[in-house]
Amino acid sequence: MATYVLVHGAWHSGKELEPVAALLRAEGHEAFTPTVKGNGLHDRKNTGLDEAIQSIEEFLVESDLADAVMVGHSYGGMIITAMADRVRDRIRRLIYWNAFVPNDGECVNDMLPADYIALFAYIAAQRGDGGIALPVSIWQQAFINDADPDTATRAYQSLNPHPIRTLSDRISLRTNPNRMDVPKSYINCTDDVSLPRDHSWHPHLSQKLGLFRLIQVPGSHELCFSNPALLAQAILDADRD
Cα-only R_g, the chain: 16
Per-residue pLDDT band at 71 (split at 50, 70, 90): very high
What is the per-residue pLDDT for 192? 98
Task: Kindly report whether the peptide bond that precedes residue 203 is cis, defined as omega within 30 degrees of 0.
Answer: yes
What is the per-residue pLDDT for 217? 98
Task: Evaluate if residue 58 carries a pLDDT over 90.
Answer: yes
Distance CA 163, CA 153 (A): 22
Distance CA 37, CA 19 (A): 21
What is the per-residue pLDDT for 182? 98
Strand partners, 214: 186
Edge-to-edge strands of the sheet including 213-217?
Answer: 30-32, 3-7, 68-73, 91-97, 184-189, 213-217
Per DSSP, the three-state class of 130 is coil
Instruction: Give the closest residue to 224 by CA, choosing from 52, 74, 34, 28.
Output: 74
Length of the chain: 241
What is the per-residue pLDDT for 211? 98
Q: First-to-last CA distance in the chain?
A: 13
Which residues have a Cβ under 8 Å from the Cβ of 84 and sit 6 or more positions away? 70, 91, 94, 177, 180, 182
Cα angle vertex 220, ends 35, 32, to 5°? Answer: 25
Task: Evaluate if residue 46 carries a pLDDT over 90.
Answer: yes
Looking at every residue in the chain, the average pLDDT score rounds to 98
What is the per-residue pLDDT for 219? 98
Domain positions in the chain: 3-238
What is the per-residue pLDDT for 95? 99
E strand segments, the chain? 3-7, 30-32, 68-73, 91-97, 131-132, 162-163, 184-189, 213-217
Read off the DSSP letter of residue 147: S
Q: What percent of the chain has pLDDT over 70?
A: 100
Distance CA 161, CA 131 (A): 5
Distance CA 24, CA 3 (A): 9
- Its CATH class, for the domain covering 3-238, is alpha beta
Sign, CA dihedral 108-112-116-118, equals positive
Per-residue pLDDT band at 7 (split at 50, 70, 90): very high
What is the per-residue pLDDT for 118? 98
Task: Evaluate if residue 241 carries a pLDDT over 90.
Answer: no
Task: Evaluate if residue 196 carries a pLDDT over 90.
Answer: yes
Task: Give the global pTM.
Answer: 0.98
